Amino acid sequence: MPSLKPLKKAVLPVAGLGTRFLPATKALAKEMLPVVDKPLIQYAVEEARAAGIEQFCFITGRGKTAIVEHFDVAYELEKTLSERGKEKELAQLRAEAMEPGSIVTVRQQVPMGLGHAIWCARHFIQDDPFAILLPDDLMLCDVSCTKQLADAYRETGGNVVAIEEVPRERVNRYGVLDVEKDMGRLVSVKGLVEKPPVEKAPSNLTIIGRYVLMPEVIGHLSKMERGAGGEVQLTDSMAKLIGAQPFHGVRYEGRRFDCGDKAGFLEAQIAFALKREDMAGAVRDFLARYR
């Protein structure tokens, strides 16, 4: 296998309106909704950083400025914390600080689908491999889900996506794999179908919101071909890479919470709180009162 370029870039599409969470998202970006005490976007960035990602591109839209400001240095807040002796909180803020110049933003002016959002980052991506993280998919993993993909990329080369099995009746909500060879943790892929009818789905292995892709996908996205829902679908362009480049799915270890759904968002709150030593006991106590 030829030497691989290191995976150092990540694209995070955050231009969605979050209509399912109105009125909470009327003036607040949905990616800033907190799970326990951190916004969704911060979980995604921390997951990527754990995989060695150093450069981030946020695909934004109107009303999303708070996302960028969240990762800026808050001088006044840090000064106040220092004056009040809140060293623990101050240390936490500084530990989470981003390197200067590590975040860029690109505006997606029109909602033409995930594929179009990724195409908007073409000048950031250039000729490098890149990860995609959809913040609505919140991952609870002992090893960062993106790191699991990065490790697989170094093993196989080419394109790698996180996958999970879903009940057959739900495959029409996802991009679905047409499997060439199932090797357990890794699955080699011979085709992809975006949101197929249940009776035509090639499997029940579906792609979740974590990807490592080669830059050649941009050339296919640039054709702006419309797919399911009349949008530019990322899955359609990924499918065109198969055969020209390695393409694998990874059965990641961990749990995914669909935080674009209210029930999934509430479940994530509980699951993440139960992982916290400072909260687990109190949460178990109040849950017991609702049995």
**What's the CATH code of the domain at 128?**
3.90.550.10
Determine, yes or no, domain membership for 119: yes
Which one has a higher pLDDT value, 266 or 18? 266
pTM: predicted TM-score of the whole model, two decimal places: 0.93
**CA angle 180–47–247, rounded 5-degree value:** 15
- Residue 2 has what pLDDT? 59
Q: How many whole angstroms separate alpha carbon 150 and alpha carbon 251?
A: 13
Percent of the chain scored above 70 by pLDDT? 99
Average pLDDT of span 186-214: 92
Determine, yes or no, domain membership for 291: no
Contact 125, 215 (CB under 8 A): yes
Domain that holds residue 158: 9-286
Determine, yes or no, domain membership for 1: no
- Residue 63 has what pLDDT? 78
- pLDDT band of residue 95 (cuts 50, 70, 90) is confident
- CA 174 to mean position of chain CA atoms: 15
Determine, yes or no, domain membership for 147: yes
- Residue 4 has what pLDDT? 86
Domain tally, the chain: 1
Average pLDDT of span 66-85: 88
Average pLDDT of span 26-51: 94
**CA angle 73–74–77, rounded 5-degree value:** 150
Determine, yes or no, domain membership for 2: no
Determine, yes or no, domain membership for 156: yes
- Residue 241 has what pLDDT? 93
Residue 1 has pLDDT above 70, yes or no: no
Determine, yes or no, domain membership for 225: yes
Per residue in 148-168, pLDDT (tens digit) is 999 999 999 999 999 999 999
- Residue 52 has what pLDDT? 95
Average pLDDT of span 52-78: 89
What average pLDDT does the chain have?
91
- pLDDT band of residue 72 (cuts 50, 70, 90) is confident
**CA angle 225–191–116, rounded 5-degree value:** 30
Residue 291 has pLDDT above 90, yes or no: no
- pLDDT band of residue 80 (cuts 50, 70, 90) is very high
Determine, yes or no, domain membership for 3: no
- Residue 159 has what pLDDT? 96
